[in-house]
A and B are shown apart, each in its own frame.
Chain A
């Protein structure tokens, strides 16, 4: 199955700053997904990133706050902009696994704390 390298694994950031999270996949994938998991909550889909087109954002998430890049079929970044303590969460990327239909592979997660 696909392997995802997600960086950084954790960070502590000052409010008002921005953090860019990277996901590198070891195989070409069409769709990449970015999730947020707030403390004690289940995962929430932020957006879906297709190569060569604008990301599709879910209700409650906007591009100005969470800009996404997808320059090729193996790489994507999510930026958390103008951070506030409410952005403290785990952020995860995911891809549909090309090895089996309907399966997903996840990154190791980025634990973000905003102070």
Chain B
């Protein structure tokens, strides 16, 4: 079992739909990261969470430390949101990140 599990692996939705991507982890963490990877390969950091909830525009990220679970939500989804969304966790003992496999999101117009 991977230490960081994302679901779903693939998600196709219509423009305007509310999107939820889930991330579960099995290790003690210092922080959880949500990142976005576009088809060209570049990665953009969206959120870093250690507790609670963060919001940026149409994106919302939540984390439940007790349940070792985080969700990324996209409201009013748009085709430009199409990308791979990656969850990664930072471990207390070192600087390394443990990466989820990513969720490929396609938003159709």
Could you list which residues of chain A lie within 8 angstroms of chain B, going by C-beta atoms? 1, 9-10, 31, 33, 37, 41-43, 45, 48, 90, 92, 94, 96-97, 100, 102-111
Which residues of chain A are near B95, meaning CB under 8 Å? Answer: 31, 33, 48, 96
User: Min CB distance, A109 to chain B, in Å?
Assistant: 3
Are the C-beta atoms of A109 and B86 separated by less than 8 Å?
no
User: Min CB distance, A110 to chain B, in Å?
Assistant: 8
What is the bound-complex CA distance between A109 and B41, given in angstroms?
5
What is the bound-complex CA distance between A106 and B43, given in angstroms?
6
Are the C-beta atoms of B99 and A43 separated by less than 8 Å?
yes
Are the C-beta atoms of B99 and A42 separated by less than 8 Å?
yes
| Number of residues of chain B lying within 8 A (CB) of chain A | 22
Are the C-beta atoms of B43 and A45 separated by less than 8 Å?
no
Are the C-beta atoms of B45 and A106 separated by less than 8 Å?
yes
What is the bound-complex CA distance between A90 and B102, given in angstroms?
15
Query: Per-residue 0/1 for B19-40: is the Cβ within 8 Å of any A Cβ (1 yes, 0 no)?
Result: 0000000000011010100001
Which of A92, A100, A103, A110 makes the CB contact (< 8 A) with B43?
Answer: A92
Are the C-beta atoms of A104 and B45 separated by less than 8 Å?
yes
Are the C-beta atoms of B40 and A9 separated by less than 8 Å?
yes
List which B85-104 residues lie within 8 A (CB) of chain A: 86, 88, 90, 95-97, 99-102
| Known interface pairs A102-B30, A102-B90, A111-B40; A42-B101 also in contact (CB < 8 Å) | yes
User: Min CB distance, B4 to chain A, in Å?
Assistant: 9
Which of B43, B45, B102 makes the CB contact (< 8 A) with A109?
Answer: B43
Which of B35, B100, B102 makes the CB contact (< 8 A) with A106?
Answer: B35
Are the C-beta atoms of B99 and A109 separated by less than 8 Å?
no
What is the bound-complex CA distance between A94 and B44, given in angstroms?
11
| Known interface pairs A31-B95, A43-B99, A45-B96; A106-B90 also in contact (CB < 8 Å) | no
User: Min CB distance, A102 to chain B, in Å?
Assistant: 4
Which of A1, A33, A92, A104 makes the CB contact (< 8 A) with B41?
Answer: A92
Q: Is B57 an interface residue (CB 8 A)?
A: no
Are the C-beta atoms of A108 and B96 separated by less than 8 Å?
no
Which residues of chain A are near B30, meaning CB under 8 Å? Answer: 102
Which of A1, A31, A109 makes the CB contact (< 8 A) with B40?
Answer: A109
